[in-house]
Each structure stands twice: as C-alpha cells, then as structure tokens.
C-alpha cells in the first residue's frame, strides 16, 4: 500500500514580470484526507500546483513532498501522480501509446497501462487516437496518467471539469477511497460545491494569497446567521424593528435582520402587536462563506 | 544506466507511436528514388548511346561526361544532399511537437531532470536520422544502381569507396536529425520551425552557397554553411560539381561542423526555451 507524504508549501511566491501570481503562500496538505484547493479562476491555483510539480520555478520559497522537492524525488511517478488542467496529449497517439511512453520513461511495468485505463473506464477506448476524445475522456486519460505509478500522493487540477454527472459521482467516490487508503489527495477547483461532498479540508486562495485553511466545517461559522421575518403588515413590522433599534434589509421573502436569535425578533413583534407569518433563522451556506472569503478577502 | 536509457526508450516510443516518421520516410524514398533513378537513366542513356549527345544541349560541355566513373557516387549522394531536409524536419517536429501539444508536462513529470530528456531526444533522433539515411540510400543506391546497371554502367558496388560514402551518408543524415532537434528547441513554434527549415534548405542556403563561390574570401566562409559541411562529410554532391573550384572542408571537418551546429542550437535552445516555466 503506497504511503502518502505530507505536501508542504513554504512562503512560495511567483512573479511574472510585474504581476504577482502567487504571494508568500504557506500551507500543508495531510495524508489520509482529501484536501480541496479552492479559489476563483486566476487566483493562482494552477501556478501553485505547477510550482509544486517543478514545472514552474518559484520566484522564492519551496514546495516539497515529505521534505523533497519534486525534481529530487528518485522515482517521481511512484511518489506523486498529477493531472493538470491543460490537455497534454499528442492527438495522433492512442491512449495506450500515450501512457506507454511515460511508463517507459518512468521504468514502470507495461501492465500498468491497461490497469489504469480500466480504473478510469477507458479500457474500451485504449486503441483510439486521443484526437477523437471528448473533454470528459481526456480528463479520465489525464487521471489515468496520474495513477500509472500507483502513487501515494495525488495532485489533480480541476479534475471534475468536463465530466458528465456519472463521472462526477464516480470521481468523488474515487477520491474518498484514495484518501481512505492513506494517500494524500490535493484537488483544485474554482467551485466549492463541486468538491464539497468529497473534501475533508479546504485551502482557499484569492489573488494569489491564502485566505482560509482548515477542515471543511470551519467554513460553517464564517458568516453570522441572520433572521428572516415577515408579516402581513410589513410596514408595521418594519416600524417595530426600527423602534427596537435593529438594522434590517428588505428581501424577497421578508425582512432580513442581522441578529442570530429568532426569539428576540419574535418578542419585538409580539410586544408591538404585529402578526408574523414568517420567522426563521437562515444560515449562510458553505458556498456563501466561500464566496465571501474570496471576494471580500476578510477572513475570520 | 537506466537513468538515460529509459528516457531514450521513451523518446523512441514517442516517434514510433505517431505517423510522422513513416510519412517522411515514404516521401523521402519516393523523392530520392525518382531523382536518382531519373538521373541514372539520363547518364546511363548518354553513356550507352541510347540517348544521343546531340539530343540535348550540352553547351559544349559534353567532355564532362567522359569521366563516368564519378557518376554513381554523385547519384548515391542524393540521399543526403537532397534528402537531408527530412531528418531535419523530423527532429524539429519531435521537439516543437512537445511544446505545441503541451506534452512537456507529462514528459517532465516522468523525468524531472530536463537536460536528461533533451539528451535522450538527441540520441534517439540521431538513431532515427541514421535510419532515414538508410531509407534514402535504399532509394539512391538501390534504384540508382539498378538503373545504371540496366544501361551497362558499372554501379561501383564492389568498390570500397562507394561503401565508405554510404557510411558517411548515414552519419550525415543522423547529424541532420540532431540539427533538427536543436532548431526545434531554439524555435519552439512549430510553424516557424518548419518555415525556417524549408526556406533555409530549399532557398536561402543554396543561394548563399552559390553566391559565396564567387570570391575566395566568401568561399572560405561559405564552406562552413551546414549544407556545405554535410556535402564535405559525404564527399560527393551536386553542388561540388556545380562549383568545381569551390573550397571544401575535409570530410571529418564537415562532420564536426555539422555536429557543432546541432549541439550549439540545442545548447542555446535548452537555455532559452527548454528550461523555462511550463505553463
């Protein structure tokens, strides 16, 4: 059973001319868990992953697997499997030949080609030229490449892009099972909802900087809950809230009051003699917390 | 040992799993077979009297044909003197294709030491270039000797010098593939690389070599042009016939000059494109 290594980013920075794509990023990714690496498009996710894999040279800082830089790994494909966003295939080569080339380069047994193609569900298309592949099939082939060395660490850039619903369901289960085997799984996405069901930890970056890291549940408390309240006589309700000194905004389903306690709002309405037909607490979704983090940049 | 053998094996497999190598080999064979066969028929016909010298305008230079002993090597040398563009193209496509199809990413993930990959590619293309040389010779010697023999001209196949020329041709074609790798890594844009190969080999260099032959000084510089160096290595060519007084390098010097072109281009390309960020 392959053992996952800890991925560690230490003060990693990348500048392209005047633009700073990634700024002083430090975080660790633990084995045995699926870690979501999240941020809007252009946040620097791909650049960060490419620095981790030795494809892009950092301006400063380091990224390591169990303390070793990618290029210092003695058997890189055995240690780390990576699938990056770009479609990196020669269109005239078949899927089996594509994988065969890199199996040879890494000194892996040829039998791995058929095995990984079977794992990702491309066994029937092994001898088809990649030029005729759909986006979803290319994603699966990229994933097959990452699995060639049966690595303890998986680094996947936007693996869900272009997959059909069945494929999405499959990859979610796949990621969880890989982590359950003790592997380190780092998955990037620009949508939290895409990976929400399968990630244990989240690393969120925006504009090249870290804005949040921690278990998925840590996102829960990031935005204070609000109370939604409505009345057949909304003007009277608004007057009562104003008299009580509570700030509120008008929403489609009622007034949104910026307090966490529905009881207090109910009490105000009761003492003012205003009839209520809606009163409940609304908890912001994880996606809202995520969006607030990447847009506002104000973390807790 | 595996550290260099594996990447070399991977580079071979990259070439053999796409169609370009046999398309180029096929076109090379057809092109050289046509040229060598055609010219062998012309010379053979003239020699045997099947074609009367009066039938063509010899410009009063018919005396040149009396020494027919030099004709077979000239025809055989077409494999390199005309066919060299094919290994250059294959070499350039092998490197520019990696940039174009973004296969540098999986390549560098499997072999993070990039210099090793480029070295492996150079070795693999050297061998494939030599194989293209064999294909070109199969056309120029195979078809050429057949046609010459048909006209009763001695194809000189028992002559050791002919086989030495064949060996040097294989080496020249191998070196041209290395030059192609260097060009491809120096000019990673596939379209630009192909345009440079075709423009330079088919137009610019022939013109330069022709112009250089006019004065002694330019001729001394002109003999270092890659095509001139290659012809020097092979030891017989069209051009040397076309400009009899022209300066020529020694055979070994020609090979060294050609190798230097290849390694210089590869070295500079390594620094300017191969080592850069793969985004």
Confirm or reject contact between B55 and chain A (CB < 8 A): no
- Give per-residue pLDDT as tens, B173-189: 999 999 999 999 999 99
User: Which residues, 6 or more positions from B76, have their beta carbon under 8 angstroms from its beta carbon?
Assistant: B36, B137, B140, B141, B144, B145, B162, B165, B166, B169, B236
Distance CA B15, CA B23 (A): 12
pLDDT-derived band at B132 (thresholds 50, 70, 90) equals very high
Give CA–CA dist A58/B45, Å, rounded: 69
The number of beta carbons lying within 10 Å of the beta carbon of residue A217 is 11
Do both A129 and A242 map to the same domain?
no
Asked if pLDDT for residue B12 goes beyond 60, the answer is yes
Interface touch B10/A53, C-beta < 8 Å: no
Encode burial over B144-177: b for 16+ CB neighbours within 10 A, e otherwise. bbebbeebebebbeeeeebeebbebbbbbbbbbb
B108 reaches A (C-beta below 8 A): yes
Its domain, for residue A12, covers: 7-220
Q: Is B113 on the interface with A (CB under 8 A)?
A: yes
Among chain A residues, the shortest Cα distance to B2 is held by A107
CA dihedral A294, A296, A298, A299 (to 10 degrees): -30
Q: Which residues of A touch B13 (CB under 8 A)?
A: 97, 100-101, 104
Query: CA of B108, closest CA in chain A: separation in Å?
Result: 7
Phi first, then psi: give them for residue B70, nearest 5 degrees. Answer: -90, -5
Same-domain check for residues A79 and A63: yes
Based on the domain organization, do A209 and A259 belong to the same domain? Answer: no
Number of compact structural domains in chain A: 2
Q: What are phi and psi of B243, to 5 degrees?
A: -130, 80
Distance CA(B40)–CA(B140), nearest Å, equals 9
Quick check: is A66 in a domain? yes
CATH code for the domain in which residue A112 is found: 3.40.50.300
**Same structural domain for residues A167 and A244?**
no
Give me B129's structure tokens: 């270039």
Residues of B in contact with A57 (CB under 8 A): 277
Classify the C-alpha dihedral A241-A242-A246-A249 as positive or negative: positive
Residue A148 in any domain: the answer is yes
Which of B210, B159, B188, B205 lies closest to B277, judged by CA?
B188
Q: Which of B4, B110, B273 to mutate to test the interface with A (most CBs of A within 10 A)?
A: B110
Within 8 A of A80 by CB-CB distance, chain B residues are 109
**Confidence band (pLDDT; 50, 70, 90) for B216?**
confident
- In chain B, % of residues over pLDDT 70: 89
Question: What is the token pair recorded at A223?
Answer: 């935005």
Interface check for B209 against chain A (CB to CB < 8 A): the answer is no
Residues facing A229 on adjacent strands = A255, A279
A197/A216 same-domain check: yes
Distance CA B265, CA B273 (A): 11
Contact list in B for residue A82 (CB cut-off 8 A) is: 109
Q: How far apart are CA B62 and CA B143, in angstroms?
A: 25
Residue B246's pLDDT is 58
Q: Which of A73, A77, A87 faces B102 most closely, judged by CB atoms?
A: A87
Which of B6, B8, B105, B109 is the best mutation test for A, with the most CBs of A within 10 A?
Answer: B109
- ipTM, interface predicted TM-score of the complex: 0.88
Q: Are B180 and B197 in contact (CB under 8 A)?
A: yes
Please list every residue in chain A whose beta carbon sits closer than 8 Å to the beta carbon of residue B106: 88, 102, 145
What is the model's pLDDT at position B65? 47
B278 CB within 8 Å of a chain A CB: yes
Q: Is B141 exposed, middle or buried (0-12, 13-18, 19+ CB in 10 A)?
A: buried
A120 and A22 belong to one structural domain:
yes
Residue A295 lies in a domain: no
How buried is residue A181: exposed, middle or buried, by Cβ count under 10 Å (0-12/13-18/19+)? middle
Poorest-pLDDT segment among A55-59, B121-125, B231-235: B231-235
First to last CA, chain A: 39
Q: What stretch of H or E contains A154?
A: strand A153-157
Q: Is the model more confident about A151 or about B247?
A: A151
Residue A296 within a domain: no
Q: Are residues A229 and A128 in the same domain?
A: no
* Contact state of A50 with B278 under an 8 Å Cβ cutoff: yes
Residue A66 in contact with residue A5, Cβ under 8 Å? yes
A97 contacts A66 by C-beta, under 8 angstroms = no
> According to the model, what pLDDT value does residue B274 have?
97
Looking at the fold, whether A95 and A142 belong to one and the same domain comes out as: yes
3-state SS string for A161-222: CCCCHHHHHHHHHHHHHHHHCCCEEEEEECCHHHHCCCCCEEEEEECCEEEEEEEHHHHHHH
Residue A200 confidence (pLDDT) above 60: yes
The share of chain A scoring above pLDDT 70, in percent, equals 95
Same domain, A205 and A257: no
A291 inside domain: no
Min Cα distance B28 → chain A (Å) is 21
Q: State the angle between helix axes of A95-106 and B2-16 in degrees (0 to 180), rounded to the nearest 10.
A: 170
Q: Report DSSP state, residue B14.
A: H
Q: Is 80 exceeded by the pLDDT of residue B254?
A: yes
Query: What is the per-residue pLDDT for B1?
Result: 55
Instruction: Return the closest-CA partner of residue B144 out of B225, B269, B58, B236.
Output: B236
Gap from B2 CA to chain A (nearest CA, Å)? 8
CB pair distance less than 8 Å for B109 and A76: yes
Residue finishing a domain among A202, A220, A238: A220
Q: How far apart are CA B190 and CA B180, in angstroms?
A: 12
By the 10 Å C-beta count (0-12 exposed, 13-18 middle, 19+ buried), B79 is classed as buried
Q: Residue A281: name the closest of A262, A254, A256 by CA.
A: A262
Residue A298 has pLDDT above 60, yes or no: no
**What are the residues whose beta carbons fall under 8 Å from the beta carbon of B169, sequence distance 6 or more?**
B76, B77, B79, B80, B133, B136, B137, B234
Say yes or no: A209 and A266 in one domain. no
Q: Which of A220, A242, A261 is the last residue of a domain?
A: A220
Per-residue model confidence as pLDDT tens digits over B234-248: 986 666 655 555 578
A148 and A269 assigned to the same domain: no
The CA distance from B44 to B48, in Å, is 6
The answer to the question of residue A92 being in a domain is yes
Q: Do B13 and A101 touch (CB under 8 A)?
A: yes
Q: How far apart are CA A251 and CA A127, in angstroms?
A: 57
How far is Cα A219 from Cα A300, in angstroms, rounded to an integer?
A: 10
How far apart (Å, rounded) are the C-alpha atoms in residues B1 and A243?
A: 84
Query: In this model, does residue A158 exceed pLDDT 50?
Result: yes
Residues A235 and A213 in one domain: no
The beta-carbon neighbor of A145 closest among B18, B106, B111 is B106
Q: Which of B10, B20, B106 sits opposite A104 (nearest CB)?
A: B10
Residue A198 maps to a domain: yes
What is the tens place of the pLDDT at every residue in A67-85? 999 999 999 999 999 999 7
For chain A, say whether B52 makes contact (Cβ under 8 Å).
no
> ∠ CA(B186), CA(A48), CA(A46), 5° rounding?
75
Does some domain include residue A299? no
Q: Please, what's the largest Cα pairwise distance for chain A?
A: 80
With H, G, I as helix, E, B as strand and everything else as coil, classify residue A259.
coil
Q: B66-121 pLDDT, tens per residue? A: 444 578 898 999 999 999 999 999 999 999 999 999 999 999 999 999 999 999 99
Q: Is B60 left (phi over 0), alpha (psi -120 to 50) or beta?
A: left
* Contacts A100 to B, Cβ<8 Å: 13, 17
């Amino acid at each position: 059973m392959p053992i996952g290594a800890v991925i560690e980013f230490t003060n990693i920075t990348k500048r392209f001319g005047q633009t700073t794509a990634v700024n002083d990023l430090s975080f660790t990714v633990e084995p045995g868990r699926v870690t979501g690496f999240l941020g809007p498009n252009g946040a620097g996710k791909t650049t960060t992953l490419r620095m981790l894999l030795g494809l892009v040279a950092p301006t400063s800082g380091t990224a390591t697997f169990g303390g070793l830089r990618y290029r210092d790994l003695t058997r890189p494909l055995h240690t780390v499997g990576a699938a990056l966003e770009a479609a990196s295939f020669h269109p005239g080569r078949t899927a089996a030949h594509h994988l065969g080339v890199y199996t040879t380069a890494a000194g892996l047994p040829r039998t791995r080609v058929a095995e990984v193609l079977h794992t990702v569900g491309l066994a029937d298309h092994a001898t088809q030229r990649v030029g005729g592949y759909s986006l979803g099939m290319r994603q699966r082939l990229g994933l097959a490449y990452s699995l060639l060395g049966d690595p303890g660490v998986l680094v996947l850039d936007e693996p869900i892009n272009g997959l059909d619903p069945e494929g999405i369901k499959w990859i979610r289960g796949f990621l969880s099972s890989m982590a359950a085997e003790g592997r380190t799984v780092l998955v990037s996405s620009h949508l939290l909802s895409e990976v929400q069901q399968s990630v244990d930890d989240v690393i969120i970056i925006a504009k090249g900087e870290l804005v949040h890291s921690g278990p998925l549940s840590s996102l829960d408390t990031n935005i204070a809950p609000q109370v939604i309240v409505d009345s057949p006589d909304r003007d009277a309700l608004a007057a009562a809230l104003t008299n009580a000194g509570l700030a509120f905004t008008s929403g489609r389903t009622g007034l949104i009051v910026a307090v966490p306690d529905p009881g207090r709002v109910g009490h105000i309405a009761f003492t003012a003699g205003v009839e209520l037909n809606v009163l409940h607490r609304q908890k912001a979704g994880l996606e809202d917390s995520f969006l607030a983090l990447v847009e506002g940049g104000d973390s807790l | 040992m595996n550290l260099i053998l594996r990447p070399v094996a991977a580079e071979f497999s990259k070439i053999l799993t796409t169609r370009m190598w046999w398309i180029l080999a096929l076109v090379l064979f057809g092109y050289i077979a046509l040229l060598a066969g055609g010219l062998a028929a012309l010379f053979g016909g003239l020699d045997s009297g099947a074609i009367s010298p009066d039938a063509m305008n010899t410009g009063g230079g018919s005396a040149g044909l009396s020494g027919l002993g030099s004709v077979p090597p000239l025809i055989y040398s077409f494999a390199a003197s005309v066919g060299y563009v094919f290994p250059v193209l294959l070499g350039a496509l092998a490197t520019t294709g990696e940039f174009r199809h973004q296969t540098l990413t999986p390549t560098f993930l499997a072999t993070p030491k990039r210099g090793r990959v480029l070295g492996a590619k150079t070795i693999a293309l050297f061998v494939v270039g030599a194989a293209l040389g064999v294909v070109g010779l199969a056309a120029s010697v195979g078809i050429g000797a057949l046609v010459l023999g048909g006209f009763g001209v001695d194809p000189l196949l028992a002559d050791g010098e002919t086989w030495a020329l064949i060996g040097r041709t294989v080496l020249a074609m191998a070196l041209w593939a290395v030059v192609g790798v260097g060009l491809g890594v120096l000019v990673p844009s596939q379209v630009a690389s192909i345009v440079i190969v075709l423009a330079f080999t088919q137009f610019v260099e022939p013109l330069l070599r022709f112009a250089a032959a006019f004065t002694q000084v330019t001729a001394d510089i002109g003999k270092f042009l890659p095509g001139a160096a290659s012809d020097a290595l092979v030891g017989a060519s069209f051009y040397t016939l076309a400009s009899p007084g022209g300066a020529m390098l020694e055979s070994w010097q020609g090979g060294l000059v050609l190798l230097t072109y290849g390694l210089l281009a590869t070295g500079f390309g390594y620094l300017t494109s191969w080592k850069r960020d793969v985004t």
